[in-house]
């Protein structure tokens, strides 16, 4: 599941960068749409990282992973939090003004955030995923994943609607190996309607001429 979430994050940041260029000067409506879509990504990524901080890092430390590596992960989370906050501010400004200059500034912020976030995701996948795979199937790891997946139906629905929006066939197959397809479909379609209504259309909107 971790890799699927990472791919969804990369996907949304790429979508956001593409949506900011070209830009129709004065398009505040589009600015507000992108601000809303980014807020959803920001919320999902923050939830993901808070779960890692609270549950995954302590689990890894208990299994003997050194504090140096975990400290790097914590520092990268802090750097990502700052980058995401900067992008949220830039998109907030764009939503208020709709100006081409602010769109360019927002896109530059998104590219900085992509760099910071991408470096962390790559680092985590290279350094920690092999360690976590050693514990797959253990009672201790199952307890951790149970805590990570504990969400209200509404939150879970929004999560799966977001995760599967534009998901690749390989990732969809991997998801089916983790969560039964009927569960994913019901959660996304029934409880993920807010995402489907308010966020998904943003990514299908072409820049207005």
| Residue 209 belongs to a domain | no
| Residue 46 belongs to a domain | yes
| Residue 91 belongs to a domain | yes
Distance of CA 100 to the CA centre of its chain: 26
Give every residue of the chain whose pLDDT is below 50, as ranges.
Answer: 207-209
Q: Please state the pTM of the whole predicted model.
A: 0.91
| Residue 94 belongs to a domain | yes
Q: What is the pLDDT of residue 207?
A: 41
Q: What is the pLDDT of residue 206?
A: 56
| Residue 155 belongs to a domain | yes
Buried b (16+ CB within 10 A) or exposed e, 72-96: ebeebbeebeebbebbbebbbbbbe
| Residue 191 belongs to a domain | yes
| Residue 128 belongs to a domain | yes
Q: What is the pLDDT of residues 177-202, one digit of tens each?
A: 888 888 888 888 888 899 999 999 99
What's the per-residue H, E or C state across the chain? CHHHHHHHHHHHHHHHHHHCCCCCCCCHHHHHHHHHHHHHHHHHHHHHHHHHHHHHHHHHHHCCCCHHHHHHHHHHHHHHHHHHHHHHHHHHHHHHHCCHHHHHHHHHHHHHHHHHHHHHHHHHHHHCHHHHHCCCCCHHHHHHHHHHCCCCHHHHHHHHHHHCCCCCHHHHHHHHCCCCHHHHHHHHHHHCHHHHHHCHHHHHCCCCC
| Residue 11 belongs to a domain | yes
Q: What is the pLDDT of residue 208?
A: 42
Distance of CA 81 to the CA centre of its chain: 12
Domain count, the chain: 1
Q: What is the CATH number of the domain that holds 165?
A: 1.20.120
Contact partners, residue 95, CB within 8 Å, separation at least 6: 28, 31, 32, 34, 35
- Round to the nearest angstrom and report the end-to-end CA distance of the chain: 39
**Owning domain of residue 69:** 2-204
Contact partners, residue 205, CB within 8 Å, separation at least 6: 19, 30, 33
Q: What is the pLDDT of residues 30-63, one digit of tens each?
A: 999 999 999 999 999 999 999 999 999 999 999 9
- Cα(103)–Cα(21) distance, integer angstroms: 8
């Amino acid at each position: 599941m971790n890799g699927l979430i990472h791919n969804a994050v990369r996907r949304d940041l790429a979508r956001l960068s593409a949506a900011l260029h070209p830009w129709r000067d004065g398009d505040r409506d589009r600015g507000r749409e992108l601000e809303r879509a980014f807020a959803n990504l920001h919320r999902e990524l923050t939830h993901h990282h808070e779960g890692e901080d609270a549950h995954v890092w302590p689990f890894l430390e208990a299994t003997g992973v050194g504090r140096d590596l975990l400290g790097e992960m914590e520092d990268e989370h802090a750097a990502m939090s700052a980058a995401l906050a900067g992008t949220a501010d830039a998109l907030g400004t764009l939503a208020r003004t709709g100006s081409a200059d602010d769109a360019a500034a927002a896109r530059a912020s998104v590219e900085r955030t992509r760099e910071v976030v991408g470096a962390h995701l790559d680092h985590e996948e290279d350094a920690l995923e092999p360690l976590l795979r050693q514990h797959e199937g253990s009672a201790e790891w199952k307890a951790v994943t149970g805590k990570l997946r504990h969400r209200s139906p509404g939150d879970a629905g929004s999560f799966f609607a977001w995760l599967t929006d534009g998901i690749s066939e390989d990732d969809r197959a991997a998801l089916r190996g983790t969560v039964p397809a009927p569960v994913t479909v019901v959660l996304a379609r029934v409880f993920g309607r807010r995402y489907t209504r308010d966020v998904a259309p943003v990514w299908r909107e072409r820049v207005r001429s």
